[in-house]
Copies of this chain bind each other. A is one copy, B any other.
């Protein structure tokens, strides 16, 4: 039996292991320091009451013969797809129910979607980036090229007509940089993809953090995008579902390559290799769109936004350049005084007891940058902000 040799080309990621090790070591040497973690991309607020109530009620349904649910449709229940279609309608995007696939999260589908594509395709990925885009393509032996995201383009690279690409990843609001494309930026990518018969994989996991109404929250807000883009979204950041696992993927009927509708291919993939998201969880996700659910989840997002504002204001006062913080839970800051990413990590941990994520861990262009997240308490975020301000204004 021959194993998939491409797996051996994967680099081991030591980023979060290394962070954990350094923090543990520092805490051991300085047990008195109250370390504040602004490094992790995980939510901290619990599920909102409307969702918990729906989960409990669906659990009870499953215990009664008349309301029990066995195998559901692999692509998800209509009761949830209808809510999602309604959510898109608010953004001015019309979706048919068969264009919506309920998933167990954006990460799974972003990896699994690659099943539909030949190994002989060139993949264009921004740098810095969420590492999963690169790894899932290395696993299949695809050629990967990078689009430089840096200070010169505000970490929002535009298409380079000299670069050939068949599959293009866009994450907006971006992880890790927090930068958000405007309509013109996304339109440039849609046009580029159309010209090349390429497909855009649009990761919208952080869309609910967009506060500026002029910024697109779905790539389908851009004309013609349905012919070139698949969109991935998730309840993880919208409603704190990181441990509850539900998301959705949009494969428009208009997306056809080589005479084949990708919607049909994806349906075949999902009905063959997936058995749907738990009924209980889909009921919980549907409650996110109830009147109460909307109000409660928005309140949580506003809570995180306030944390981002606290951190952004601090950096503004310090005159430190950053992206994100306004329409994103992430703040991507330049390391002060020309420090390198890991150098600043140590400096901040040792002198302020604050943990962030070294930008170098997200790609070559991340060197010299640092990621802070809004996923913490107001109290801790304020404390961390004060410590950062005190340290860096010296």
- Using CB atoms and an 8 Å cutoff, list the residues of chain A in contact with chain B: 1-5, 7-8, 10, 42-49, 51-52, 55-56, 59-60, 62-65, 67-72, 104-105, 107-108, 111-112, 115-118, 120-121, 132, 135-136, 139, 166-167, 197-199, 240, 242-245, 257-258, 260, 262, 265, 268-269, 272-281, 284
Contacts and interface: CB of A to CB of B under 8 A. Distances in A.
Contact of A118 (B5, B62, B105): B5
B47 A56 contact: no
Given A132-B272, A260-B8, A245 B108 contact: no
B69 A116 contact: no
Contacts of A257: 1-3
B42 A245 contact: no
Contact of A258 (B3, B42, B120, B243): B3
A244 B278 contact: yes
B117 A2 contact: yes
A385 to B, nearest CB: 21
28 contacts: A1-B198, A1-B257, A2-B118, A2-B166, A2-B258, A3-B117, A3-B260, A3-B265, A7-B265, A46-B62, A46-B63, A46-B65, A52-B62, A55-B280, A68-B240, A69-B243, A70-B243, A104-B278, A108-B274, A108-B275, A111-B274, A112-B273, A115-B139, A135-B272, A139-B272, A242-B275, A244-B278, A278-B281
Contacts of A197: 1
Copies of this chain present in the complex amount to 2
B45 A65 contact: yes
A275 to B, nearest CB: 5
Nearest to A107: B275
Contact of A4 (B10, B70, B118): B118
Contacts of A43: 70
Nearest to A62: B47
A365 to B, nearest CB: 22
A69 B245 CA distance: 11
A70 B118 contact: no
Given A107-B273, A167-B1, A278 B135 contact: no
Nearest to A116: B4
B7 A71 contact: no
Contact of A62 (B55, B112, B269): B55
A120 to B, nearest CB: 6
A176 B139 CA distance: 34
A55 B59 contact: yes
